[in-house]
Amino acid sequence: MKTTSVIMHLALAELRMLHAVDPQAATRKAQRMCRSDADFMRGALPLIVPWLADAMGPGDPAGGPWTWSVGDAHQGNFSTLAVGKMDRDGVVPVTFGVADVDDEGPAPWSWDLARLLSSIAISTPTLKRSAFDELCTVTLKTYAEMMRRLSEGDTLATRLDANGLPEAVKTLIAEGSTEAQHKRFIASMISGAGLRARLKRGVDVIDDAVSEPALKMAWSRLAGLPAHTVLDLARRLNPGGLSSLGRRRWWLLIRETNPVPRLRLIELKERAPSALTRVLPASPFVPWVAESAPATQPVCSTMGGDPFQRVLRTAAGDCLARTRCHTRATLDIATLDGGDRRRLGHLYAQLLATFHWQGLAQLTPDAQARCAAIADAADGNQRLVAKRASQLASHLHELAVGYRATVKPLLRAPSAKSAKSVKSVKSAKEALVFT
């Protein structure tokens, strides 16, 4: 497909649909994606998936086998997290991992790797080609080795070696591990203490009497959650990241009780169909029933060992529930030395392989055999996937240029009359106007 065709038929159609539902969200998305190639890349998954299906689909050696994909595995979606279980001292350890699963779904194994590596090329334009090639080699080789170990039942391969992490990641983890940060985060969102703690209402947090009963009922039906008490629920108006624009979100405040009382903030977000499904409407996985994955429960790969990450099923559709924490710091790859870049490649591969393994284990009884097939494909196509990642980065640059040329003319300063309909977007001096 030509760039202009992609822009006109996909990008503008998506913006028009979002504009009809939420004009402010459409304006924010258009503005942010026009800033730079890197900003465009973060919100361009619906435009990337058709390219992946064409370049890395069934006709490409790297187009199969399939796995359970992160979907939007760009570099900015890997960060520090403090969302896991409490330790014996009542502290949640900080780790580093996949921080956004809004677009998880079935896809060929290579797509996450190509998406990740191309995003590094786009977001780090100062990175030398030799350094990028080395990072690709390390990441793809380690991924193949990881899938081979998992195919042999070696689940210990998924454990992160704290000593082997990049020094920059160790620094981020140390900076995010102070309990004072957690307390400041909670204090900024909560009033009161103990069982009387409540979410602070304000410009971005309001009551939602319509949705509250259904969401609390759906939450109460979840099984296997750690012991806790639900304290409060409110609507969140802050638009959040690019993937959240146009989706309704809520805060759920709970109080864990084991091993010590501790407040935890849960985000509930509308779980729209993944951008992958626009091109891949079918799945090669047949639902099956197992103790850990009943056929009626949607697949949900947990981030950072989050014990509260689930999918809520309501009459109005699915919501993704997950812990929101005080730390979500990302790496600046441009600042890393060669050793840290190589260690980061190992880490990226381990995180992606673990995610793929967890999804397959929920989807199919022959997860080990599928991992073996993926390991074979990864072993034989490392150079090809690296080449495809570079091609995707070039394609993204071309799309970004076309997007800016197409969308910027639609952004203009609102008149006094139209400003009322836009409700004076805080961070925007322009409104998206379709004529």
Residue 96 lies in a domain: yes
Residue 128 lies in a domain: yes
| CA separation for the pair 86, 260 (Å, rounded) | 9
Per residue in 277-287, pLDDT tens? 888 877 888 76
Greatest extent of the chain over all pairs of C-alpha atoms, in Å: 66
Q: pLDDT confidence of 386, banded at 50, 70, 90?
A: very high
| CA separation for the pair 424, 416 (Å, rounded) | 10
Q: Is the dihedral of CA 67, 70, 72, 78 positive or negative?
A: negative
Residue 430 lies in a domain: no
Residue 106 lies in a domain: yes
Could you tell me the two tokens for 387?
A: 């080449």
Single out the residue of 422, 431, 306, 347 nearest to residue 30, CA to CA.
431
Residue 409 lies in a domain: no
Residue 42 lies in a domain: no
- Given a cut of 50, whether residue 36 has pLDDT beyond it is yes
Q: Count Cα atoms within 13 angstroms, Cβ side, for 219.
A: 27
| CA separation for the pair 274, 71 (Å, rounded) | 8
Share of the chain above pLDDT 90, in %: 75
Determine contact, residues 142/345, Cβ cutoff 8 Å.
yes
Per residue in 69-107, pLDDT tens? 999 999 999 999 999 999 988 899 999 999 999 899 999
Q: Count Cα atoms within 13 angstroms, Cβ side, for 303.
A: 26
Single out the residue of 102, 22, 100 nearest to residue 272, CA to CA.
102
Residue 14 lies in a domain: no
Residue span of the structural domain in which 333 resides: 65-400
Which pLDDT score is estimated for 424? 47
290 phi/psi in degrees, rounded to 5: -145, 165
Query: Cα angle at 403 between 237 and 12, to 5 degrees?
Result: 60
Total domain count, the chain: 1
β-bridge pairing 78-81 and 95-98: antiparallel
Output Rg (C-alpha) for the chain, integer angstroms. Answer: 22
Residue 31 lies in a domain: no
How many distinct helices (H) and strands (E) make up the chain? 14, 14
